[in-house]
Structure 1
């Protein structure tokens, strides 16, 4: 049966919309800008843990074996300050006064772990002192009064040995080192807290993951693989310890790579296995329950230091991420959105917890005025894999370090992103399904059309098991997905379609363009569907086109009277270089034809078409390159006049149309403080001439998950 999910008539607006103030991203700093002169730009970088001292950010870069520095005296315009090489892999960094204190891993092997603690003068990026550590450091925290620091010595396991099951010796521990009043290390004070024999899981092999220190000098430690928590005194005495426990999860997608967002499954007794931890006051702390090899509760928890669960998010955090299109479907069988990082600060008088979804690339902002009932106030778009935070509360700034560097996949480079608390409305998300009676997941929006004040969008082959038409109400802020209609054949999901374009048929139904290939199960075709999504007719491309096909086929469809116009993304075998086809199909005569469209020259990669829309005598098109971030050069709306546009028969010479550039989209794509997204794929124009543009987030696979939906003028 077809299925349409409708919004509740009593749905209320997102809490973020009604806020008088909130965080907005003001800058994105690509850490490749910090690479030393002469370094290959393809060198991998990964900002992981970040801290702030005055106007300087300090971050760890494990692949470079260095600390990186960024000047944020003007936070909206961060400037590179370079990197400082280290003798090993930095794993964490904290600051005390004008000094950075970093744990550095120098381990020769899993069975022979080693490392040191280094103190760096931030002003001149020179080493001040170092202390040898009794193993591999993983996290560093400085006490609020800067009297001492704590280091989690993880001595991590070998995941390839015995399927990664612990115990694997040597055991981990926690180290404390005192600091002078000037913030200098006193290595002679180094003391080791023995935390073996505490956990129910592998008690002989604790693997401390993260540490945090409260105002009373008490240290909380997560033992992620052991699913255990320990609270220590500054002297290393165990004050309390307890299991992190488990959660029963309902309404989740627990099947990997199915190509569908179906939140109908459950997991019972899912171990929390917390990663990051932060104190929210002197008696309560919050954990991000990322999970490891046997757990991951997809949420976060507030504990008392005695072990009582004060509050747990359950699936609410993940569901909120689902609603804004950031759900990572390919991680469904593992840990879903994977909350990995968590931080606390009081900003503008409000105590806040910041929770990072590593796989969803989202930062949740919670008001924890009442720690028994936190309120999710915002979801902030981050780079790929938010890992570490710095909160400059007195300046109203939040900074995220995003370790994902997708150079090998042609994706975004690693970034540090800066957000500022501002008066007025927040700008993200642009689109949400929040308020629906049932949970609607979405992503990879690839084609769009407008009708009667609504937008209709399709998703591409990433969700090939469950092709859908999404109904969007753009009159709300953010715009709302108010229905999701399955595309079906004989009442069953029309699997393996790669929907790239949608047009109205004038009678309540739609024409859909599906990109395929003759060597695939589903070839290129046009589909006529009812308003309920049922396929009524299929029109394959003619032999004249299929005989010259290449990858990257139909990327949009629009209707002009009895004629469908189709944009072919790139050159096929019979096209001259720099020419792509606009193909026509007459629904009455069943005749095919085409014209040639000249694309811009590509500096890198390729340039092609992503959408086609008819409006008031013109065909409007999205022309783009396949580049992202600083490499992006061509993201634009063009148009071709319909007057005099006469397609020629296929197989012969084709007339070349004259295009006009209507809008350069590069500035629009950086208007939210992020980097330029690659796939501008959807364009819809309403009867009054309002043009809506949407980006494709690749199903949050090797992508930040960010979807932009915005309006632009056409003249």
Structure 2
């Protein structure tokens, strides 16, 4: 009987294994049969006005969406996604007792982590509050660095990371150090907060490669402003955008150290393939080459692997610093130019030409004689793919973002003088055997989809209209989706709308 029981158990085990294999195959077939270039809106829900739908996270356990709502409130809105075609707001989590305003949310297996900046003093340390997604009870509160702007769980759920931007107050009397916090979930939420002090000796070398340190900075570490985090599939490496500094930091999660800063350099807009529209007052949209360089200055970041090589993707939005004590943005026409380099400066300064373009005020005087030898703008109006091991660029989308949204009819010419479509968010995912990238465009109210399976030659798939000013993009794979179909959830802070998209089957 004992041998028979073992045989029966073995047989049952084989049957279960076969069923699991069969289920995996069926799931894979569903994924492979979805057309990643055919996402269509299937539902929409508005939860408030401006600032009401910034970032959204999904809990597979409860089939709920948790969305940041700062539209005259201080709460997380809870939305039932049991039927993705009929999302329903079913509750909220009031955040006022925690003396913080939410900037970002993330979910992992029944735990909701919320990044809160201090409402008592924005320059003081912020916190992470972890809630149970079922009853919204508090699991833990953890102190992190100043102004935690983005939060994420590692794929294995062992870590929570925040990018703590550490912005100064308006007169720079308080300028906290920009930091990255690593919280060990499995070690009673022990926190390690890292800063960039040890890189200060590399400042000059980094600047030569296009890294930016503001001339108003009190120190190297205080000027660093971490913005967004992505963590590798093996939960060992993170890449963090340093937006205002035009760089990306690499972090080793095992040793809890920042191992590198990658300066991102500049993009040359003076080529046919990088041609941009630079005037908001010429009553037309015209993409032309201009003698201008753009700092990439990425906001969102994501990652994927191809042939065992890690890559990170950046949304090259660009961002200026505008404070009473330090404003680093100026119209091109109000600046002084080197007559030898720009003999046609008077013509270039016309509003219909470069005159309206916003430039980095304290860059471009390469010989230190008080006039501009080159023009440096904010952002690259694109997304880029970089080698995750070296930080070297392998692909840039050139002017595809602005041109494709112009074709769609959503390009906002009134942003031409600033940063164009302003790529805000990037999310790289796996659909079947393909690496698919979604790019959210804050000022063109759309997202774009690319096949990035070949990192050096992405293939454009589609452009889709969203709500006003899309901020967050969330992909729910078919394996975790309520209806077992891949879903894309786009949160738009301009109109407080969450839209849900689903692809067609092939």
Q: TM-score, normalised by structure 1?
A: 0.51
Q: How many residues align?
A: 377
Distance 1:58-1:267 versus aligned 2 partners, 3 A rule: farther
Q: Which residue does the alignment assign to 1:404?
A: 494
Q: Which residue does the alignment assign to 1:46?
A: 52
For residues 186 and 138 of structure 1, the distance between their equivalents in structure 2, rounded to whole angstroms, comes to: 23
1:264 Cα deviation (Å)?
2.7
Q: Deviations over 1:165-208 (max 9, x none)?
A: xx97221110000113xxxx723x21012223265322332100
For residues 222 and 172 of structure 1, the distance between their equivalents in structure 2, rounded to whole angstroms, comes to: 12
Distance 1:259-1:126 versus aligned 2 partners, 3 A rule: farther
For residues 128 and 267 of structure 1, the distance between their equivalents in structure 2, rounded to whole angstroms, comes to: 54
Q: Tell whether 2:260 aligns with 1:260.
A: no
Q: Which residue does the alignment assign to 2:313?
A: 286
1:340 Cα deviation (Å)?
0.8
Q: TM-score, normalised by structure 2?
A: 0.71
For residues 344 and 95 of structure 1, the distance between their equivalents in structure 2, rounded to whole angstroms, comes to: 18
Residues 108 and 114 in structure 1, CA contact (< 8 A), matched pair in contact too? no
Moved over 4 A (4+): none
For residues 267 and 58 of structure 1, the distance between their equivalents in structure 2, rounded to whole angstroms, comes to: 45
Q: Which residue does the alignment assign to 1:422?
A: 504
1:133 Cα deviation (Å)?
1.8
Residues 107 and 113 in structure 1, CA contact (< 8 A), matched pair in contact too? no
Root mean square deviation, CA, Å: 2.0
For residues 224 and 368 of structure 1, the distance between their equivalents in structure 2, rounded to whole angstroms, comes to: 23
Residues 316 and 380 in structure 2, CA contact (< 8 A), matched pair in contact too? yes
Q: Which residue does the alignment assign to 2:124?
A: 113
Q: Deviations over 1:80-117 (max 9, x none)?
A: 1222110321011111101110101114445x322110
Q: Tell whether 2:210 aligns with 1:186.
A: no
Q: Which residue does the alignment assign to 1:241?
A: 261
Matches within 5 A, 1:265-664: 265-281=289-305, 283-293=310-320, 294=360, 295-305=378-388, 306-394=390-478, 395-405=485-495, 414-423=496-505
For residues 21 and 312 of structure 1, the distance between their equivalents in structure 2, rounded to whole angstroms, comes to: 20
Distance 1:135-1:81 versus aligned 2 partners, 3 A rule: same
1:157 Cα deviation (Å)?
3.4
For residues 351 and 144 of structure 1, the distance between their equivalents in structure 2, rounded to whole angstroms, comes to: 17
Residues 51 and 389 in structure 1, CA contact (< 8 A), matched pair in contact too? no
For residues 173 and 45 of structure 1, the distance between their equivalents in structure 2, rounded to whole angstroms, comes to: 25
Q: Tell whether 2:67 aligns with 1:59.
A: yes
State which of 149, 152, 161 in structure 2 corresponds to 1:141.
Answer: 152
Residues 99 and 121 in structure 1, CA contact (< 8 A), matched pair in contact too? yes
Instruction: For residue 504 of structure 2, give the secondary structure of its aligned residue in structure 1.
Output: strand
Q: Tell whether 2:108 aligns with 1:96.
A: yes
1:318 Cα deviation (Å)?
1.5
Q: Which residue does the alignment assign to 2:18?
A: none
Instruction: For residue 266 of structure 1, give the secondary structure of its aligned residue in structure 2.
Output: coil
Q: Which runs of 5+ in 2 are unaligned?
A: 1-34, 214-219, 321-359, 361-377, 479-484
Residues 355 and 365 in structure 1, CA contact (< 8 A), matched pair in contact too? yes
State which of 224, 231, 235 in structure 2 corresponds to 1:206.
Answer: 224
1:27 Cα deviation (Å)?
0.5
For residues 389 and 168 of structure 1, the distance between their equivalents in structure 2, rounded to whole angstroms, comes to: 33
For residues 152 and 284 of structure 2, the distance between their equivalents in structure 1, rounded to whole angstroms, comes to: 41
For residues 29 and 267 of structure 1, the distance between their equivalents in structure 2, rounded to whole angstroms, comes to: 44
For residues 380 and 389 of structure 1, the distance between their equivalents in structure 2, rounded to whole angstroms, comes to: 13
Which has the greater radius of gyration?
A: 1
Stretch deviating more after TM superposition (363-372 or 20-29): 20-29
- Asked which structure has the greater RCO (Cα within 8 Å, sep 6+), the reply is 2
For residues 280 and 291 of structure 2, the distance between their equivalents in structure 1, rounded to whole angstroms, comes to: 14
Q: Deviations over 1:215-245 (max 9, x none)?
A: 2321111100011111011132122221112
**Counting helix residues as a fraction of each chain, which structure ranks higher?**
2
For residues 150 and 88 of structure 2, the distance between their equivalents in structure 1, rounded to whole angstroms, comes to: 27
State which of 78, 85, 88 in structure 1 corresponds to 2:87.
Answer: 78
For residues 348 and 421 of structure 1, the distance between their equivalents in structure 2, rounded to whole angstroms, comes to: 13
Q: Which residue does the alignment assign to 2:142?
A: 131
1:262 Cα deviation (Å)?
2.2
Stretch deviating more after TM superposition (67-76 or 255-264): 255-264
1:130 Cα deviation (Å)?
0.9
